[in-house]
Every structure is written in structure tokens, then in C-alpha cells.
Amino acid sequence: MDDRRLENIIGQLLRSGVLLSAGIVTLGGILYLARFHAAPASFRSFAAGGADIRTVQGILRSAAQFRAEGLMQVGLVLLILTPVARVVLAVVGFALERDRLYTVVSLLVLAILAFSLLHAR
């Protein structure tokens, strides 16, 4: 495994992750617009949505019931995870290259990322 191959694999993974999430969001978007296209859209004042768009469990439950908002949100969460996957893949790739320095560097980034994601309030 050299840098070029690692770059190719990371590029491929990003592409599939992005395409998958875009596909799911498109599906949800079509369902949403098919039903609400003529409804007035106003986002002037903020009102936090329910658990079905704010927690992972709620989002998955809503998507499993094939609800438009749940599907769109699953796709969006998948998209948000693609950069995390990028870092994970870099860890694996550098480890396979036996590049100790950059395996540690990427692990550190992953640890910081995990810290800030888990301390989300």
C-alpha cells in the first residue's frame, strides 16, 4: 500500500458515501415535496423539531416507517459521517503503510473528533 493507493481508496469511499446519502435524501425529498409541495414554507422563527429529527434512535425509527423527514435526516446524518469515515480510513491506510507517525496523527484526530461528538449537548 502506498500513498497513491490510499488516496484512491479514500476517494472511492468518499464517493460512495456521498452518493448513498444523496440518494436517500433525494428519496425523502421527493416524498416530502409530493405531500407538502403546496403547503406554505416559513422558517422565520425557530422551533426545534421532535426526537424524530434530533436523536439517532428517533431518526432511524422515523426512517424505518418510511417517513419523508426521517429518510431525509438519515441521509443527512450519513453525509455528516463521511468526514469521520475519512479519518478512520486514513488510520487504517497509514497503519497498512506501516507509517507509524501518521497512524498516530490520524488516531489523535479521530480521538479528538470522538471526544467532541460525544460531548455534544
Interface mask toward other proteins for 21-60; x: CB under 8 A? xx--xx-xx--xx--xxxxxxxxxxx-xx---xxx-----
Residue of 7, 64, 66, 100 interacting with other proteins (CB under 8 A): 7
Our finding on whether 63 is near other proteins (CB under 8 A) is no
Of residues 70-89, which lie at the interface with other proteins (CB under 8 A)?
Answer: 72-73, 75-77, 79-84, 86-87
Q: How far apart are CA 93 and CA 2, in angstroms?
A: 9
Contact 59, 77 (CB under 8 A): yes
Number of residues that bind other proteins (CB under 8 A): 66
In angstroms, give the least distance from the CB of 56 to other proteins.
8
CA distances from 45 to 25, 30, 41, 48, 95 (A): 24, 25, 12, 10, 48
In angstroms, give the least distance from the CB of 20 to other proteins.
11
Q: How far apart are CA 65 and CA 71, in angstroms?
A: 9
Task: Give 119's DSSP letter.
Answer: T
